[in-house]
Structure 1
Amino acid sequence: MPLPVLICDDSALARKQLARILPAAWDVDVSFAEHGEEALELIAEGKGALTFLDLNMPVMDGYQTLEEIRRRDLPAMVLVVSGDVQPEAKARVLALGAFEFIKKPTEVAVLERVLQEYGFFSATAEPPAAAAQQAADRGAELQVSHRDMYQEVANVAMGRAGELLARALDVFVQLPVPTVNQIAPSELHMVLTSVDQSAAVSAVTQGFTGDGITGEAMVIFNDTNMKDVSRLLGNDTHDKDYDIEALLDISNLLIGACLQGIGEQLYVRMNQAHPVILGRNVSVPELLKGAAKRWQEILAIEIGYKLEGFDIEFDLLLLFPSTALPAMNRQLAYLLDGDSVC
């Protein structure tokens, strides 16, 4: 009797990748969900005896899903698979009932070790040919777009940056679902959904290059948050020079970690320019005016970070000109092992 396995992740790429690295000889019936609400329905139908659960999802995230599984006493053993690698994130999901946590991108050896350790799978010397073909077909029906691939790569990189920030500041960083838009530069301010367009903001910018991939990263702070930023960093005097140093330090950490995470997934070494203050106490349209003049079309990835327990939110924008996309797409193809991208 096949084991009902459910893979819940908002990314088609993540669902497909995980389905394809499940042990070939494992007798399973795999179902898919894009968010927690779908997962709960499938678990209630008996399709998620073992559920692989992402954390950062729309509609209902992984934390909410775990809470609901426990509240309703649903028949599911939950293994969390997430790019949010903060120690506090792991502690929270284990407290909510998950039996284990593994990070994205998932390593085959780690996955098999966990499955064997908890008795879900016993390794065999040689899987039969039929089982190998069945494993190769898992997730074949899932269509993966370039946009989905950009979003999942950003999601994993975002988690790495969040973990470094959490350790540096001793806080828990609330991570969102990254948003991806291919737009004209004049529309750039519209992607900043978490920033009040009338508010005064400050920003740091940093250019980057790597094997034909060029772009610019910006970290945008709402100036009303700066008092809390200073307090968090131990500057009770709210000195303006110290504020600038704090902006540069936080931005450099976030951008560096995020680009390193992207580079590792794309097998590209990213080189960064020095961080520069792009603007202080300006409006969002004024801040982004310069970017609108540099490129004709851009891929914009927005990641909104929030520090729990503080009134601190800021946005990381990764901007890629259209000329960088062919090189990105070539590298992204490796993530699907030669499969086509829709």
Structure 2
Amino acid sequence: MIPLLVCDDSNMARKQLIRALPADWPVSISQAANGQEALAAIRQGLGQVMLLDLTMPVMDGYQTLAALREEGLQSRVVVVSGDVQEEAVRRVKELGALAFLKKPADPEALRATLAELGLLDLAPAAPADAPPAANPQQAVLDSLKVNFRDALREVTNVAMGRAAALLAKVLGVFVQLPVPQVNLFEVSELHMALNDAQRGQRLSAACQGFIGDGIAGEALLLFHDAEVSDVARLLKWQPRDDSETSEMLLDLASILIGACLSGIAEQIDVRFSQGHPMLLGQHASIERLIHLNQKRWKKTLAVEISYSLEGDHIHFDLLLLFTEDSVRRLTHKINYLMS
């Protein structure tokens, strides 16, 4: 049996990946939720082959690959990630990864990659008269419990990676990705969370409504005013007035929000109709923005993504706010993915 290590912070992602493994591949499967756990497992001989995520807490995939090299640990690594930026692929291969697959891994693409790398041939051949081996994946799959929050976080993780790849091309930068946060907020809690996150900074915000298949909400993209000139520089845009600045911000919002919503819609098999992005306010504090729009924000399922650009003091906070009425339908769609 080949010691296979699946490293991802999401139970949902690990379940999808283990389900995609070739059923006839004789592996003993271990799991890790971050790079630190993965290194400990590899030191114990549990990771001759490792399928590795990039965006994780504690120690991410890049740090894990660097640590493997530094310690001289032997593991044949295939990265499976939602961060599909061209620079991400280049970096992981430079750090020693053998291949890169995008999430969610397609079973045929995974088998082809494993075969091309010779990883399917690592185990000794079974004797001709040996009985058929049991599917090694099924017991692990049965033990993996996935809750709604974890599943939605993973769906968002894949979607935000696609949006980041598009943003990276537009701005010519490398986008650093966080682990998305998923919370069900009362309106007062949402206000407090936003206030705490921004700490009085001056903001401009773009909003874009979406609806489809019983799921509706608004995407809110927050720009920090102090960083707008740096964004313009990356875009090679020189706004002459507030009107042109607004146009620039709306274009950027359309890219990020549109790509993220499209990624989510594709995974849960819905088709979102999107409104035109609108500026909620410019040069306003978050308190003012909340006051102007509090009637639209009641109890909400909030998904928070904070993009930052490497080498620049620029970040965007993207909030996907699903209406309370949408939660049941969204839960149904997510449950179908988990089954």
For normalisation by structure 2, the TM-score amounts to: 0.93
Residue-by-residue CA offset, 1:56-108 (whole Å, 9 max, x unaligned): 11111111111101000112111100000000000000001111100001101
CA contact (8 A) 1:176 1:304 kept: yes
| Counterpart pick for 1:198 among 194, 197, 200 | 200
What pairs up with 1:300-311 in 2 under 5 angstroms? Answer: 300-311=302-313
- Number of paired residues? 333
Could you say what secondary structure the match of 2:36 adopts? helix
- In structure 2, what residue type is equivalent to 1:218? L
TM superposition shift of 1:8: 0.6
Structure 1 residues 264 and 317, CA, compared in 2 at 3 Å: closer, same or farther?
same
Residue-by-residue CA offset, 1:207-248 (whole Å, 9 max, x unaligned): 000100000001100100011011112234664222111110
Gaps of at least 5 residues in structure 1 are none
| Equivalent position of 1:174 in the other structure | 176
CA contact (8 A) 1:216 1:318 kept: yes
Using the alignment, how far apart are the partners of 2:324 and 2:149 within structure 1? Answer: 13
- In structure 1, what residue type is equivalent to 2:276? H
Using the alignment, how far apart are the partners of 2:86 and 2:186 within structure 1? Answer: 39
| Counterpart pick for 1:232 among 227, 231, 234 | 234
TM superposition shift of 1:320: 0.5
TM superposition shift of 1:322: 1.7
Using the alignment, how far apart are the partners of 1:194 and 1:65 within structure 2? Answer: 32
Could you say what secondary structure the match of 1:144 adopts? coil
| Equivalent position of 2:253 in the other structure | 251
Structure 1 residues 170 and 218, CA, compared in 2 at 3 Å: closer, same or farther?
same
Residue-by-residue CA offset, 1:88-131 (whole Å, 9 max, x unaligned): 00000000111110000110110000011111115x9xxx9964
| Equivalent position of 1:147 in the other structure | 149
Using the alignment, how far apart are the partners of 1:147 and 1:324 within structure 2? Answer: 14
CA contact (8 A) 1:300 1:319 kept: yes
| Equivalent position of 2:274 in the other structure | 272
- In structure 1, what residue type is equivalent to 2:229? K
CA contact (8 A) 1:297 1:322 kept: yes
Using the alignment, how far apart are the partners of 1:129 and 1:249 within structure 2? Answer: 61
| Equivalent position of 1:218 in the other structure | 220
| Equivalent position of 1:52 in the other structure | 51
| Equivalent position of 1:242 in the other structure | 244
Using the alignment, how far apart are the partners of 2:212 and 2:175 within structure 1? Answer: 28
| Equivalent position of 1:75 in the other structure | 74
What pairs up with 1:125-140 in 2 under 5 angstroms? Answer: 131=133, 133-140=135-142
Identity of aligned residues (%): 49
Using the alignment, how far apart are the partners of 1:215 and 1:288 within structure 2? Answer: 16
| Equivalent position of 2:91 in the other structure | 92
- In structure 2, what residue type is equivalent to 1:227? S
TM superposition shift of 1:286: 2.1
CA contact (8 A) 1:20 1:138 kept: no
For normalisation by structure 1, the TM-score amounts to: 0.93
TM superposition shift of 1:188: 1.5
Using the alignment, how far apart are the partners of 1:229 and 1:317 within structure 2? Answer: 19
CA contact (8 A) 1:165 1:253 kept: yes
| Equivalent position of 1:26 in the other structure | 25
> RMSD of the TM alignment (CA)?
2.0
Using the alignment, how far apart are the partners of 1:194 and 1:60 within structure 2? Answer: 26
Structure 1 residues 192 and 31, CA, compared in 2 at 3 Å: closer, same or farther?
farther
Residue-by-residue CA offset, 1:5-41 (whole Å, 9 max, x unaligned): 0111011100111112211111101011111111110
- In structure 2, what residue type is equivalent to 1:13? M
Structure 1 residues 175 and 273, CA, compared in 2 at 3 Å: closer, same or farther?
same
Query: Which segment drifts farther, 161-170 or 239-248?
Result: 239-248
CA contact (8 A) 1:194 1:304 kept: no
- In structure 2, what residue type is equivalent to 1:39? A
